[in-house]
Chain A
Amino acid sequence: MATSLSNMFLKGIAARSLSRPLNGLFYCTRYSTTVSNDSDTHDDFKPANKLENSGISLSNVIEQDVKDNPVMVYMKGVPDFPQCGFSSLAVRVLKHYDVPISARNILDDPDLKNAVKAFSNWPTFPQIFIKGEFIGGSDIVLNMHQTGELKEKLKDITSKQ
């Protein structure tokens, strides 16, 4: 049983630290299943403690996310099922362009939410990063779309990348 539990949580941690999310839903589902279905979780196996002990830093996860994914969005919900009007707006704008959108759902992970806020020094969501640069929230992305700045910034990113 101990071995089985340990493997379960290691998978959860591995999923959390994926450098390129396959898609938000995948990330979300795995993480939720690992944590929320096991009310008997012993403190020693809680992901937060495990993460801290293992030396994996959430700010490193974010740094890697932003570096590896040309368009990276930290949002409420996932691109196919946003749970906030602002996150929905940002995704709808980005979908005008033929670029791959990588995302993480910050509603599933309070620690990730706080780590992203600290990383960008920005208090609200969604937060959009393009080619490693913090762009801002949905207001700014919409504004850049309207002025043509966004097209310029995304022009060398293609869905085949």
Chain B
Amino acid sequence: MSSRGATAVLSRASRIRSKLQTALEATVLEVDDVSYQHAGHAAVKGSSDKETHFNLNIVSPKFEGQSLVKRHRLIYDLLADELQSGLHALSIVAKTPHETNPSK
């Protein structure tokens, strides 16, 4: 059992979720693999890796006071290893808890 656990390989989606949750302490973290929508995409032809496109929806207090560019840049920095190893594109929605509940 332990050896099976030791040899398990996390999917890219799991790695992404883990990295983002650890750094951002997100109250909402949705990681959707939409790679199937981009199958045959010219720029990723020949890629043996199937997990190439993800939609991210993240709500985190870490985004407070940050512009959209800075929020996206923060996320890209956290996922730099994935972008270097086959992750092709991310669609990002990044908000603070306040922005999702303006009336509070």
Contact = CB atoms under 8 A, between A and B. Distances in A.
Given A124-B83, A139-B92, A84 B72 contact: no
Given A83-B42, A84-B43, A143-B68, A122 B93 contact: no
A152 to B, nearest CB: 15
B68 A123 contact: no
Contact of B83 (A121, A123, A134, A135): A123
In the complex, which range does the number of interface residues on chain A fall in? 10 to 19
A139 B89 contact: no
Nearest to B92: A139
The secondary-structure label for the interface of chain A is mixed
In the complex, which range does the number of interface residues on chain B fall in? 10 to 19
Nearest to A77: B42
Contacts of A76: 42-43
Interface of B: 38, 41-43, 68-69, 72-73, 76, 80, 83, 89-93
Interface in A76-114: 76, 83-86, 107
Given A107-B43, A123-B80, A139-B91, 5 more contacts: A76-B43, A107-B42, A122-B73, A124-B83, A140-B72
14 contacts: A84-B41, A84-B42, A84-B43, A85-B38, A107-B42, A122-B73, A123-B76, A123-B80, A124-B89, A134-B69, A139-B91, A139-B92, A140-B69, A140-B72
